[in-house]
Amino acid sequence: MYIGIVSEWNYTKCSKPFESQQAALDYLQEKDFAGLILKRTQGFTAVCPTYPDGYYPDAVVVAEVENSKLDLAAERKSLPIQGCC
């Protein structure tokens, strides 16, 4: 999805720390990135839609941010069905 685009988002492997939820939201919206905002023990982290659940054990998702390309929705549709079979 973000492969081939050189950006700060890729450079930090789809994870960027922030001091506030608003700063993380502003960053994602300014760059037109889809992602999640996680509340951490110390501060907040913005992560891309492909970031694995549970990677940060202390994290709680506080916001989901969609971009103009609808990457968050596309990623959700590409995830395997869980709890099946």
Asked whether the beta carbons of 68 and 59 are under 8 A apart, the reply is no
34-64 CB burial, b ≥16 within 10 A, e <16: bbbbbbeeeebbbbbbebeeeeeeebeeebe
pLDDT (tens digit per residue) in 21-73: 999 999 999 999 999 999 999 999 999 888 888 889 999 999 999 999 998 88
Q: Give, as one character, the DSSP assignment of residue 81.
A: P
pLDDT tier at 83, thresholds 50, 70, 90: very low
Domain ranges of the chain: 8-78
pLDDT score at 75: 85
pTM score of the predicted model: 0.76
46 sits in which H/E element: strand 44-47
pLDDT score at 7: 52
